[in-house]
Amino acid sequence: MYKKLASEVLRTGEEMEVGVVEAPDEEFREPLVSFLSHKPREFRWHIERSLEGPLDELETRFYIGRVEGEIVTNVMTVEYNRTGILGHVYTKPEHRRKGACTGVLRTLIDDFRGRGGGVLLLGTGYGSPAYWIYHRFGFRSLEEGSGFMRYTTEEDFEGRFFSPAPVRVVDVAWHDWPRLNLLASVPGREFVRSIYFGLFGIKNLEGVFLQVKRDVEEGRCRAKLLESESGAVVGCATVVPDPRWEGSVYLLDFFTHPEFLCELEGLLDSLELPDGKLQSYVEVGAEVKAELLSRRGFREEAVLRSQVEDKEGRRLDVRIFSKGG
């Protein structure tokens, strides 16, 4: 469904209509797929599927600017339960430096706030021209020197969203995309959180989630999430064939938000583990994870000394726990 939201006069004097396409939408499917055809394969997979039909409860919106009926700029959001990701910011080369994208962003932020949105995350190059445009609209780096940025409509949104509450185990769904990304934006108790995700400290999982979702759908990944009563994703467990060993070893990762560390055992137990050799990488000092693995028959196979450097420049040792094989 398309809805006009505003009109903007560009620096050239041209009038631009700003509106939002709420997916799925048959009328705008081909124009948007064509307009964003330069995006990487995994992103095109989502764009095409979202415009064709519902993706669980995920809300996909394409905020577009049109001049004389032609799409000249786009900004997309994916949202669920007040959390969102902003991406696919693109303006046709011949319409750049006219203020087109800025006009769409201004309307998007107003619409997000008006709909009761809570937090938006995005990734861009730190210090780039785009970074300072987002900064002007209230986005701020999650870490010093990082292009992983956050915009929120209320103070301490995450503090309330991740407050302790009862949890349940759920399968991975499309609407977990922004919620899992928000979890990855909050520092954990350990630096080494997920080898499969490449999650060390905090990380933007905007693109990672799409590969995970495809791996789950095609049977290459087993995954479970912890969902709190507030609707937050507070934990994640995955097991996948480790590509470094031609599929003969499985890689097990599991982590939670710091407020839900006590739920780690239930999360691990919910995941059906395959036959064969399993390995899990645990940062030295992460005793809760180490003890859980030991109680389930894993043994310490090796210690990788000074394996990874954290954000403070400290070299961390990592233990490898294994089972089977």
Nearest by Cα to 146 from 91, 118, 184: 184
Tell whether 25 and 150 lie within a shared domain.
yes
Tell whether 150 and 222 lie within a shared domain.
no
Find the CATH number of the domain harbouring 287: 3.40.630.30
How far apart are alpha carbons 134 and 138 in whole angstroms? Answer: 7
DSSP assignment string, 155-188: TTHHHHHTSS--EEEE---TTHHHHHHHHHTS--
Q: Residue 142 is part of which domain span?
A: 2-154
* pLDDT at site 161: 97
* pLDDT at site 246: 86
Helix (H, G, I), strand (E, B) or coil at 18: strand
How far apart are alpha carbons 95 and 73 in whole angstroms? Answer: 8
Tell whether 112 and 217 lie within a shared domain.
no
Q: How many residues comprise the chain?
A: 325
* pLDDT at site 22: 98
Strand partners of residue 246: none
Tell whether 184 and 73 lie within a shared domain.
no
How far apart are alpha carbons 47 and 124 in whole angstroms? Answer: 20
Q: What is the pTM of this model?
A: 0.96
Tell whether 143 and 176 lie within a shared domain.
no
Tell whether 102 and 22 lie within a shared domain.
yes
Q: Which of 154, 170, 202 is the last residue of a domain?
A: 154
Tell whether 209 and 181 lie within a shared domain.
yes
Q: Which of 93, 121, 154 is the last residue of a domain?
A: 154
Q: Which of 115, 139, 154 is the last residue of a domain?
A: 154
Mark the ranges of the chain whose per-residue pLDDT is less than 50: none
320: left (phi over 0), alpha (psi -120 to 50) or beta: beta
Per-residue pLDDT of 104-121, as tens digits, reads: 999 999 999 999 999 999
Tell whether 245 and 275 lie within a shared domain.
yes
Tell whether 135 and 184 lie within a shared domain.
no
